[in-house]
């Protein structure tokens, strides 16, 4: 009976992956099988890989230095620095691009600003400022485990400061930084919207693929370029996975969900600093709305804030989170039962390392070529279905590895002790780890909504005017010069993220901390 149930669960998991990856991937391979002009592929590929690699290195260095510098500040300032770092995640890279252009217009002319070297630096700054928090918080989590008492003991026995720095800081950082660098690379190389807004003098692979898929011209060339991008990125992801297996899965044993940080990014959302920043954002939002109303002669230039786009984004992100959570939990329990955790780890690692440009192209080509996947959902609801699929492919790897990290952090000693005291297995687990499960659920909800509000790939490849979403609407507003309306919508979505975090944390915390009677 158990073998039959396990076989059915494996069949369900592989069927889900077939719907999400295999059928769209087959459509992509079929399109890439036609002859293509390699000269038109090599230059965008080389320039995009080099650009994304440089952005990843700069974000890695700056995030590491910033996180290390925070340790030398007074502890009271740590929540403020963490909040400032987290605020960058609430805005898409192309919003950073528009902000940098707005600041540049104050001091320079647009022709000077769009000089080839300057515009490349602006584009790089967009990605660095948007994705630097990945490295920053990875390093903060790593350094949070450095105990001052351990450092004092090492100094007392004569260990040099350089050796202490290496063993207490460099080694934990080495275990946390590679995934942050990989994610920065994948997200940067997948984004088509910053090159769409800035006149880059170098060709961009994601932008070229997006234009080709949208226009229907040179689809075979775009498909081949998307496959090559995926091959390079997946090789990097597999390299990161092999690195951790060679180190004994150090990353999954970081216990990042079982230990509280000195400055917790989660609880600071509920702090006075966060409330002040939220109030300031509300003032800016209202001020922009009034300014647009006055300048427009009493007529709102965008017909008011598009609440429908925000609501649709939240609902579809919630549906995607539920589906992705089911897939991640199913894979996790299958890995525990069948000792096939490495296969599942690499399966989700490959999905995590696949650029959104490749996933979006595959989904779009599969939809256009009427594969069995989309023939089953053909009709007016197919656009909504594909949008949810785009969210699921992006969220499921994050949720899976978050669950793996939580499981690796579990200390069986406390559970065994409670079992000896007469508690049931479920009760012992609840007493020991429900607060950590609450943290995991909190992170899943906030991260999923943040990704839905900021990520452009694979969403921009499958979006439709029939499905109002925040990211496509923001791009259309900026593309039509309606900068004020775009910033109003951006701040509204950022405020929603902060308010959701502030409201969700105490709800998840309610009755979650159990005490022994």
The CA–CA distances, whole Å, from 398 to 75, 258, 322, 390, 465 equal: 30, 18, 13, 14, 28
Could you say which DSSP state residue 90 is in?
A: G
Is position 140 within any domain? yes
Task: Compute the distance between CA of residue 407 and CA of residue 243 in angstroms, rounded to an integer.
Answer: 20
Residues 347 and 475 in one domain: yes
Is position 368 within any domain? yes
Give the pLDDT of the chain (517 residues) as one tens digit per residue: 567 766 777 787 787 887 778 888 888 888 877 766 777 788 899 999 999 999 999 998 888 888 877 777 777 777 777 777 777 777 888 888 888 888 877 777 767 776 767 888 888 998 998 888 888 887 777 776 666 666 677 777 777 767 777 766 677 677 778 888 888 999 999 999 999 888 888 888 999 998 888 877 778 888 889 999 999 999 998 888 887 777 655 444 443 333 333 333 333 334 444 444 445 444 444 444 443 333 333 333 444 567 788 888 888 888 888 888 888 888 888 876 556 777 888 888 888 888 988 998 888 888 755 555 555 554 445 677 888 888 888 888 888 888 877 776 666 777 777 777 877 777 777 777 766 676 667 767 777 777 777 888 888 888 876 678 888 888 888 888 787 888 888 888 878 777 776 666 565 554 444 443 4
Structural tokens at position 308: 């429908």
Domain boundary among 219, 254, 289: 254
Residues 200 and 301 in one domain: no
Residues 298 and 392 in one domain: yes
Is position 3 within any domain? no
Residues 420 and 313 in one domain: yes
The CA–CA distances, whole Å, from 471 to 92, 129, 154, 191, 442 equal: 8, 18, 50, 12, 23
Residues 228 and 166 in one domain: yes
Q: What is the pTM of this model?
A: 0.80
CATH number of 57's domain = 1.10.3720.10
Residues 315 and 178 in one domain: no
162 CB neighbour count, 10 Å cutoff: 9
Residues 147 and 283 in one domain: no
Is position 234 within any domain? yes
Closest by CA to 146, choosing from 123, 175, 121, 117, is: 175
Residues 241 and 347 in one domain: no
Residues 73 and 219 in one domain: yes
Residues 283 and 238 in one domain: no
Four-residue CA torsion sign, 203, 383, 494, 131: negative
Is position 424 within any domain? yes
Count: domains in the chain: 2
Is position 367 within any domain? yes
Residues 65 and 131 in one domain: yes
Phi/psi at 449 (nearest 5 deg)?
Answer: -70, -40
Domain boundary among 186, 219, 254: 254
Is position 263 within any domain? no
Domain boundary among 222, 254, 286: 254
Residues 89 and 147 in one domain: yes
The CA–CA distances, whole Å, from 463 to 40, 107, 155, 338, 456 equal: 26, 37, 58, 38, 10
Q: What is the domain extent for residue 370? A: 278-517
Is position 193 within any domain? yes
Give the 3-state secondary structure of 268-324.
HHHCHHHHHHHHHHHHHHHHHHHHHHHHCCCCCCCCCCCHHHHHHHHHHHHHHHHHH
């Amino acid at each position: 009976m158990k073998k039959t149930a396990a076989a059915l669960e494996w069949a369900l998991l592989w069927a889900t992956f077939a719907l999400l990856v295999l059928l769209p991937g087959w459509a992509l391979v079929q399109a890439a099988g036609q002859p293509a002009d390699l000269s038109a592929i090599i230059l965008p590929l080389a320039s995009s890989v080099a650009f994304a690699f440089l952005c990843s290195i700069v974000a890695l260095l700056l995030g590491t230095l910033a996180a290390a510098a925070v340790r030398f500040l007074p502890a009271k300032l740590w929540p403020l620095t963490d909040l400032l770092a987290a605020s960058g995640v609430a805005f898409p890279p192309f919003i950073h691009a528009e902000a940098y252009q707005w600041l540049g217009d104050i001091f320079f002319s647009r022709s000077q600003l769009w000089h080839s070297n300057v515009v490349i630096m602006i584009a790089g700054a967009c990605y660095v400022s948007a994705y630097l928090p990945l490295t920053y918080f990875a390093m903060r989590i790593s350094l949070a485990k450095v105990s001052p008492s351990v450092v004092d003991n090492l100094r007392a026995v004569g260990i040099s400061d350089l050796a202490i720095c290496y063993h207490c800081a460099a080694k934990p950082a080495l275990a946390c930084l590679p995934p942050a660098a990989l994610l920065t690379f994948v997200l940067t190389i997948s984004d088509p919207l910053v090159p769409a807004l800035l006149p880059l003098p170098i060709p961009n692979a994601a932008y070229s693929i997006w234009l080709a898929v949208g226009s229907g011209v040179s689809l075979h060339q775009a498909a081949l370029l998307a496959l090559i991008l995926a091959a390079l990125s997946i090789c990097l992801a597999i390299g990161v996975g092999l690195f951790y297996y060679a180190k004994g899965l150090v990353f999954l044993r970081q216990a990042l969900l079982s230990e509280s940080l000195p400055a917790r990014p989660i609880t600071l959302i509920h702090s006075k600093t966060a409330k002040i920043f939220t109030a300031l954002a509300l003032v800016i939002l209202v001020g922009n709305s009034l300014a647009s109303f006055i300048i427009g002669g009493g007529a709102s230039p965008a017909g008011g804030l598009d609440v429908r786009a925000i609501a649709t984004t939240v609902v579809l992100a919630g549906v995607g989170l539920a589906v992705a959570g089911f897939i991640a939990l199913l894979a996790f329990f299958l890995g525990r039962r069948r000792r096939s955790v490495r296969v599942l780890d690499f399966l989700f690692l490959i999905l995590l390392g696949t650029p959104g440009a490749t996933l979006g192209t595959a989904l779009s080509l599969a939809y256009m070529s009427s594969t069995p996947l989309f023939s089953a959902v053909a009709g007016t609801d197919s656009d909504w279905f594909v949008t949810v699929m785009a969210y699921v492919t992006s969220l499921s790897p994050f949720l899976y590895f978050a669950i793996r990290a939580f499981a690796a952090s579990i200390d069986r000693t406390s559970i065994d002790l409670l079992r000896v005291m007469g508690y049931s297995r479920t009760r012992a687990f609840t007493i020991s780890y429900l607060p950590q499960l609450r943290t995991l659920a909190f992170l899943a909800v906030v991260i999923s909504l943040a990704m839905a509000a900021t990520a452009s790939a694979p969403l921009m490849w499958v979006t439709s005017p029939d499905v109002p979403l925040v990211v496509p609407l923001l791009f259309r507003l900026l593309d039509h010069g309606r900068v004020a309306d775009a910033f109003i919508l951006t701040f509204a979505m950022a405020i929603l993220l902060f308010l959701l975090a502030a409201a969700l944390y105490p709800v998840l915390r309610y009755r979650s901390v159990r005490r022994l009677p």
